[in-house]
Amino acid sequence: MTPTPLTEMTAWKALESHAATIQTKHLREMFAADPQRGERMTAEACGLFLDYSKHRIDDETLRLFQALAAESGLEDRRAAMFRGDKINVTENRAVLHTALRAPREAVIEVDGKNVVPDVHAVLDKMAAFAESIRSGAWTGYTGKPIRNVINIGIGGSDLGPVMAYEALRHYSERELTMRFVSNVDGSDFAEAVHDLDPEETLFIVSSKTFTTLETMTNAHSARVWALGKLKQTEAVAKHFVAVSTNAKEVAKFGIDTANMFGFWDWVGGRYSMDAAIGLSTMIAIGAENFRRMLAGFHAMDEHFRTAPLAQNLPFLMGMLTVWYTSFFGAETVAVLPYDNYLKRFPAYLQQLTMESNGKHVTLDGRHVNYQTCPIFWGEPGTNGQHSFYQLIHQGTRLIPCDFIGFAHSLNPLGNHHDLLMSNIFAQAEALAFGKTPEQVKAEGTADWLVPHRTFEGNRPSNVILAEKMTPEILGQLVALYEHSVFVQGVIWQIDSFDQWGVELGKVLAVRIIPELESATEPDLRHDSSTNALIRRYRRMRRKQA
Ligand code: G6Q
């Protein structure tokens, strides 16, 4: 059955006219009219507290969010995802990253088969391997213990592992050097290995398909680098393991398939950091901490699955993103973690959000007549305050912000932490309430300077607080955003789980490679710009040669 087009839904139309009223209101008035607002418009789940009171919404907005969810069949779609239905329609696949963190006794079926025992079998195998590296029991070809671990992967096979390693570095084994190579730019690989000894280095080649150009190019360079010192090809088995679904290609590379860690086609790349793609994370933080992270993911899954929508964190955050994108013309969302360990979190979220919801056709192939995914970006606080926050405060665009902070630092140092956190509260306050011309004048500011020093305010933000950065909290945070992305995708009626937009560039690059490498002048049949660029590049290369 063809669903009602979004913009024809009753709740959508109601939100449209409601937005016109809200746009005339200032957060200052809304707070003045309801002294309890700051306490009331909050929600808490697992270890995360969300203050969403500084949003341009009222109780009617929240009611309409639920009405739109009902009209969009959100709860049915959520049930379908958790049940393992093939909701990724363009790839005819189930979407079951939630099974990756399900407890051992859970039963989740794909095509009539319970997948949970397989998930735990891989986790157990990963744990045994991670322990052998951490303890030094696994030795390299020449008998030395492994001291350096390099994950080679890209996209979903890189961003999650890098982010999680940085986020949980405090919990990591400091005797091990962990590095990540993703870019096909040789500099990435060269810098990653420049001070390492192949005898003590393990490469994890992480690639679902084991055919990705960047990853395979880096893996082959790693092989050459390692064998440069180790000489014997048998050494590959001691210095390379694979995370993949493609056993044939793994074996062809020379990796012992006993040292291959598998996953399944129902795990999307950007949803795979808690599958075997997290092997580097597990080696860094140990199996127990990894399982704590999975427990955090699972706790948020259960919250999303069962909590009433009015208190459902992923629902609220997802709908707020839809609200500003579709009704306020907001083009971006800034994610601002006030925790240095989360420095790669915005980069990770860019893929999760934009590869998932950066789509312009609906599930049934119609061109949308509304905006979908906003651009996610951000930097850890307080650094961003001294660069781009100016635009958020006084620029011409509306930029909803997510502030993320913790009550306790993992590295208590003098009063650093209170200083850090005072900035979250101050920034969210300044964005919402601003500073009126009267206030600026009252400070004795010259009239001509008043407009420059005035802050309009009325700029929305979430504040997410947790006790401290732990593996559980990281799992909860990631799952919170995963499910928020899901909510947005359902409302926008798109397939959040395919990524056809990544394909075209890949295909074209493969066609161009021989044109760059050929010894004779190639017969170029691109457009005039691409042809000219290729010719110029070839001339520049010849000149240097
Ligand atoms: C993620 C995408 C994409 C993928 C990379 C790497 O959802 O599918 O980012 O993760 O292209 O793919 P491989 O793991 O197959 O190398």
Is any ligand 1 atom within 6 A of the Cβ of residue 268? yes
- Coil vs helix vs strand at 250: helix
Is any ligand 1 atom within 6 A of the Cβ of residue 157? yes
Between the CA of 154 and the centroid of ligand 1 the distance, in Å, is 6
- CA-nearest residue, atom 1 of ligand 1: 269
Determine the Cα–Cα distance for residues 177 and 158; give it in Å rounded to an integer: 16
Is any ligand 1 atom within 6 A of the Cβ of residue 161? no
- What confidence score (pLDDT) does residue 502 get? 87
- Best of 88, 208, 348 for a ligand 1 pocket test (most atoms within 8 Å of beta carbon): 208
Q: Which atom of ligand 1 is nearest to the CA of 270?
A: 7
- CA-nearest residue, atom 11 of ligand 1: 155
Determine the Cα–Cα distance for residues 442 and 86; give it in Å rounded to an integer: 62
Is any ligand 1 atom within 6 A of the Cβ of residue 154? yes
Is any ligand 1 atom within 6 A of the Cβ of residue 272? no
Determine the Cα–Cα distance for residues 277 and 260; give it in Å rounded to an integer: 11
Q: Which atom of ligand 1 is nearest to the CA of 212?
A: 16
- Best of 263, 502, 503 for a ligand 1 pocket test (most atoms within 8 Å of beta carbon): 502
Q: Which residues contact 44 (CB under 8 A, 6 or more apart)?
A: 50, 311
Between the CA of 264 and the centroid of ligand 1 the distance, in Å, is 13
Answer for the pair 412, 404: CB distance below 8 angstroms, yes or no. no
Is any ligand 1 atom within 6 A of the Cβ of residue 47? no
What is the CB-side half-sphere exposure of residue 448 using CA atoms within 13 A? 0
- What confidence score (pLDDT) does residue 96 get? 98
Tokens 């005339």 — which residue?
24
The letter for the amino acid at 172 is S
Between the CA of 246 and the centroid of ligand 1 the distance, in Å, is 13
Is any ligand 1 atom within 6 A of the Cβ of residue 179? no
Q: Known catalytic residues? A: 355, 386, 506
- What confidence score (pLDDT) does residue 510 get? 87
Between the CA of 216 and the centroid of ligand 1 the distance, in Å, is 12
What are the tokens at 376? 């996610």
pLDDT digit of tens for each residue in the chain (545 aa)? 578 999 999 999 999 999 999 999 999 999 999 999 999 999 999 999 999 999 999 999 999 999 999 999 999 999 999 999 999 999 999 999 999 999 999 999 999 999 999 999 999 999 999 999 999 999 999 999 999 999 999 999 999 999 999 999 999 999 999 999 999 999 999 999 999 999 999 999 999 999 999 999 999 999 999 999 999 999 999 999 999 999 999 999 999 999 999 999 999 999 999 999 999 999 999 999 999 999 999 999 999 999 999 999 999 999 999 999 999 999 999 999 999 999 999 999 999 999 999 999 999 999 999 999 999 999 998 999 999 999 999 999 999 999 999 999 999 999 999 999 999 999 999 999 999 999 999 999 999 999 999 999 999 999 999 999 999 999 999 999 999 999 999 999 999 999 999 888 778 888 999 999 999 999 999 999 999 999 999 999 998 76
- What confidence score (pLDDT) does residue 1 get? 59
Determine the Cα–Cα distance for residues 283 and 136; give it in Å rounded to an integer: 12
- What confidence score (pLDDT) does residue 331 get? 98
- Best of 206, 212, 250, 507 for a ligand 1 pocket test (most atoms within 8 Å of beta carbon): 212
Cα–Cα–Cα angle for 170, 171, 175, rounded to 5 degrees: 90
Is any ligand 1 atom within 6 A of the Cβ of residue 56? no
Is any ligand 1 atom within 6 A of the Cβ of residue 496? no
Determine the Cα–Cα distance for residues 282 and 298; give it in Å rounded to an integer: 17
Answer for the pair 314, 382: CB distance below 8 angstroms, yes or no. no
Q: Which atom of ligand 1 is nearest to the CA of 156?
A: 10
Q: What pTM was estimated for this model as a whole?
A: 0.97
Which stretch of DSSP H or E encloses residue 333? strand 332-337
The letter for the amino acid at 299 is A
What are the tokens at 316? 């609220």
CA distances from 166 to 135, 180, 449, 450, 454 (A): 22, 11, 43, 43, 38
Between the CA of 359 and the centroid of ligand 1 the distance, in Å, is 17
Is any ligand 1 atom within 6 A of the Cβ of residue 218? no
Between the CA of 52 and the centroid of ligand 1 the distance, in Å, is 33
Answer for the pair 492, 357: CB distance below 8 angstroms, yes or no. yes
Q: How many CB atoms lie within 10 A of CB 144?
A: 14
Cα–Cα–Cα angle for 471, 481, 300, rounded to 5 degrees: 55
Q: Which atom of ligand 1 is nearest to the CA of 154?
A: 6
Q: Which atom of ligand 1 is nearest to the CA of 271?
A: 7
Determine the Cα–Cα distance for residues 290 and 259; give it in Å rounded to an integer: 19
Q: Which residues contact 147 (CB under 8 A, 6 or more apart)?
A: 175, 176, 177, 197, 200, 201
Q: In what order do the strands lie in the sheet with 42-45?
A: 42-45, 48-51, 461-466, 401-406, 332-337, 375-377
- Which residues on adjacent β-strands are paired with residue 336? 403
Is any ligand 1 atom within 6 A of the Cβ of residue 506? no
- Best of 209, 250, 273, 495 for a ligand 1 pocket test (most atoms within 8 Å of beta carbon): 209
Answer for the pair 117, 109: CB distance below 8 angstroms, yes or no. no
What is the CB-side half-sphere exposure of residue 209 using CA atoms within 13 A? 11
Is any ligand 1 atom within 6 A of the Cβ of residue 503? no
Q: How far apart are the first and last CA of the chain?
A: 62
CA distances from 125 to 243, 250, 273, 525 (A): 12, 17, 16, 50
Answer for the pair 116, 108: CB distance below 8 angstroms, yes or no. yes
